[in-house]
Structure 1
Amino acid sequence: MHADIPRHIAVIDIGKTNAKVVLIDSETRRQIAARNIPNNVRRDGPYPHMDIEMLWGFALDSLRALGAEHGIDGISITTHGACGALLAGDELALPILDYEFDGPDKTAEAYASVRPDFAESLSPKLPGGLNLGAQFFWQAMTFPEQFSRVTALLTYAQYWAWRLTGARASEVTSLGCHTDLWAPARGEFSSLVQLMGWQGLFPPIQPAASVIGTLRPEIAAETGLSLRLPVTCGIHDSNASLLPHLGRHHTPFTVVSTGTWTILMNVGGDTGALDQRRDSLANVDANGRAVPTARFMGGREFDALVPEIAEPGAADIAHVIANDIQALPSFAPGTGPYGARQGHWTTDPASLTPAQRYAAASLYLALMARTCLDLCGLGRSIIVEGPLARNRLFGQALARLAGVPVHASGDSTGTSLGASLLFGGTLPETGGSHAFEPLQAAGLDAYIAKWRERVDQV
């Protein structure tokens, strides 16, 4: 291990559904300990917003406990995208908006006159606040007095880095995730930022892997951690999942980052097939390069489709296929390649056993993932990160549908592990990864063809 890499790295990992603090041993790249909490949206105030003080208290409590038990030598940060803070000095000018709130839709017509073309931003028009630029625009138009006090615009991971260190920075993976704020081909802010006069509000750009600073004295005192503890600038969560794989596979290759969202990123691929009408876009990786990406809310949809977890056996899978039991998109309206469609089953789901629902939902996710590969491009191999790496049927079905090797990451906290690599180093070659055998099941080809025929009907 490189002498400059902290041994015990605490990763503050804030996802849309859950937040956690994970302690990673940088020598073994194994998780030592973890604490987690539901990330519930607050409904009070002027609009639905992130429960920042709850998350802050949880992070500090976790750092204190993990530090006392194991010791902490560095802190890294990763968060979901579509989220940003409006600072007025050292306070928030307005609460940090929940991107699922539809408020920004009310100013969509005015926003359309200033948002960049897809060719410039590679950022599709998305509902609610999923375009961070649309959030900021709505806040500026709806709360002009509060917005006039704004002294800095911070993307989400960098907001937490500021809370810990007092240092402010901008960072490209957070600016490049469907925000409308970034022009990937030029590697600079988009025309929207200039049109709105926001240039001076974004702090200077720093690499995700840079050490933004050390702990504020009061934070060090409250957590019992060292004043000299280094804190990284932070990274967008999908790009954290991508980071361990950069430079390790023959390009193009695809990483499937899973959680609330299922995000397919084709490293080394071409952006030519991206379709802004179907929730495909370019993310920007930690090296500043555009990565063709397509996505859908796979975790959110699976939870809606499968209220009770029961692993399916061969008989359950065979029953679903033989009886043409299918879930059809979309169960997360406005997102994914079929965002305009209303999700439904081909049969009454109440008539299915939990294992049959699990089987049908897993096949649905694999079919949706394969659709996304038509948009972002199919690499020579596919690596599945996060919860879906543990879904055997999903992996087997995707291997059958894609026709290239599909591997499950051996790490259950892909974003956290990836974020720990911001301090340097690489993953060991043996991390428990395994290949999925392509699914073999009677009638599967007809089942696939029927699903595609149904979703392609106008």
Structure 2
Amino acid sequence: MKVTAVFDIGRTNKKYVLFDEKYQIIEEFAESLPETTDEDGFPTEDIELLTHWVQNRWSDLLQNPKYDIKAVNVAAYGASLVHLDGANKPLTPLYNYLKPFPEALLAQFYNTYGDPTRLSLQTGSPAMGMLNSGMHMYWLKYTRPDIYSQIVTTLHLPQYILYLLTGRKVSDYTSLGCHTALWSFEMWDYHDWVKQEGIHKKLAPVLASSSFIYRHGDKGIQSGFGLHDSSSALIPYRMAVKKPFVLLSTGTWCINFNSFASKPLTSYQLERDCMNYLTPEGSGVTASRLFLGREHDFQVARIAEYFRVAPDFYKSVAFNEEILKADTPPFYSACMTGNGPFPEANTQEWQISAFASAEAAYHHLLKGLTDMLTVSLQLVGINEVQAIYIDGGFARNEIFTRLIARNFPNHSVYATDLPYATSLGAALHVTRPQTFDFLNEIREIES
């Protein structure tokens, strides 16, 4: 059977997915790998374990007589770098993007390169410490200079996985444009600070969206260049939907992509968690984000405890318009200080005791969250498009989708059941079919 293989590397699950020629999933294998710690004791991905996992799975697939692998690609989480020595072996742990960034070093950086807001606007990247992978490189240069001097090539994680599969070392636009602080959206090149530090010399060559033939013995396998996972999930929609739209990619974070608006960010947007991404072809995407899934889970746990109901009670709560008509106390977030469209610190707690039931509290939790999300969507030009597509876990939440449709009565709102959007995007990008249409798998939401 002719298949396309995609290695989809998440923080929690590592998996490969095999697609047939009609992009139906033939096989999926997922595994959770234990973490380790870096030299400072901070938890992180075990790069040695991950390396062996990828190599072993790929070897098994290549030798499996059931499959004729015609193409391969990678999607993986961003803001993570692998530094290779002269023997192409990782020199350091895969440092966690949540690792604290030293305040003194941050001050040194801005004393050298100027105003943080100006730099963030130019790079389309809010200042987020190690979540800016460029700052990861700066940190390594000044805190581990002996190791930094041994680096021959630095790869973002998706491209490191690709290197394990094919032996090809590249940089791609989706990883460079993912809040790295490396890329200048004004100059469409590495930012001047990157060049002054010589960091760009450590990075693999940037190649425009394309593919190459990887040779395995006498067999040729078409390979992509690897993709940042969020950008990969956008690809099926960009291929299938012809009119301008915004994609809500929901999960722990809700990231809102408008690939039809790539204007430079304003300081107002930047302060409210907006950023720029790049498509695989190198064009700009404006995005905003909200810690929606984390807030949802935190407040659901509070509701369940207060009303003494099962932790997953919300899964059976049906939409009830009458509940939403009740006059209730305002919603206050607990997990969004410093992120999202309301950067001001919040000191008030949402009063669950004001509700008569867990069902009522849950309705108003989602009303509060979707009202915040509405503001976040307005930051990325939602009124300049005609349609909203909701992808991910919240696409299956009737209350959530109905409230989004109610907040945007002039838009067509669709929920999609595309559980493998990230893997599918990577498969589509390497094989490049003339047409692709999954629109029969979506449902339009009534307000």
Q: TM-score, normalised by structure 1?
A: 0.82
1:25-424 counterparts in 2 under 5 A?
25=20, 27-38=21-32, 41-46=35-40, 47-60=42-55, 62-63=57-58, 68=64, 71=67, 72-89=69-86, 90-112=88-110, 113-114=112-113, 117-126=119-128, 128-211=129-212, 213-214=214-215, 228-246=220-238, 248-271=240-263, 274=266, 275-307=269-301, 308-310=311-313, 311-314=315-318, 318-319=322-323, 322=326, 324=328, 327-342=331-346, 345-348=349-352, 358-378=362-382, 379-403=385-409, 404-423=411-430, 424=432
Code of the aligned partner of 1:298: L
Code of the aligned partner of 1:125: A
Gaps of 5+ in 1: 1-5, 218-225, 439-458
Matched, 1:10 2:5: yes
CA distance in 1: counterparts of 2:210 and 2:344, whole angstroms: 38
Q: Is the 8 A contact 2:329 2:354 kept in 1?
A: no
Gaps of 5+ in 2: 302-310
Deviation for aligned residue 1:421:
0.7
1:49-68 per-residue CA deviation (whole Å, 9 max, x = no partner) reads 22223333443455466664
Q: TM-score, normalised by structure 2?
A: 0.84
CA distance in 2: counterparts of 1:70 and 1:325, whole angstroms: 60
CA distance in 1: counterparts of 2:427 and 2:27, whole angstroms: 14
Per mean C-alpha deviation after superposition, the further-off stretch among 344-353 and 286-295 is 344-353
Matched residues, number: 422
CA distance in 1: counterparts of 2:379 and 2:56, whole angstroms: 42
CA distance in 2: counterparts of 1:70 and 1:305, whole angstroms: 47
* SS of residue matched to 2:390: strand
Q: Is the 8 A contact 1:28 1:428 kept in 2?
A: no
- RMSD over aligned Cα atoms: 3.0
Per mean C-alpha deviation after superposition, the further-off stretch among 16-25 and 258-267 is 16-25
Q: Is the 8 A contact 1:254 1:267 kept in 2?
A: yes
CA distance in 2: counterparts of 1:416 and 1:28, whole angstroms: 14
Q: Is the 8 A contact 2:80 2:157 kept in 1?
A: yes
Q: Is the 8 A contact 1:386 1:411 kept in 2?
A: yes
CA distance in 1: counterparts of 2:285 and 2:363, whole angstroms: 31
Percent identity, aligned pairs only, is: 27
Structure 1 residues 321 and 196: alpha-carbon distance in aligned structure 2, compared to 1, 3 A threshold: farther
CA distance in 1: counterparts of 2:104 and 2:389, whole angstroms: 39
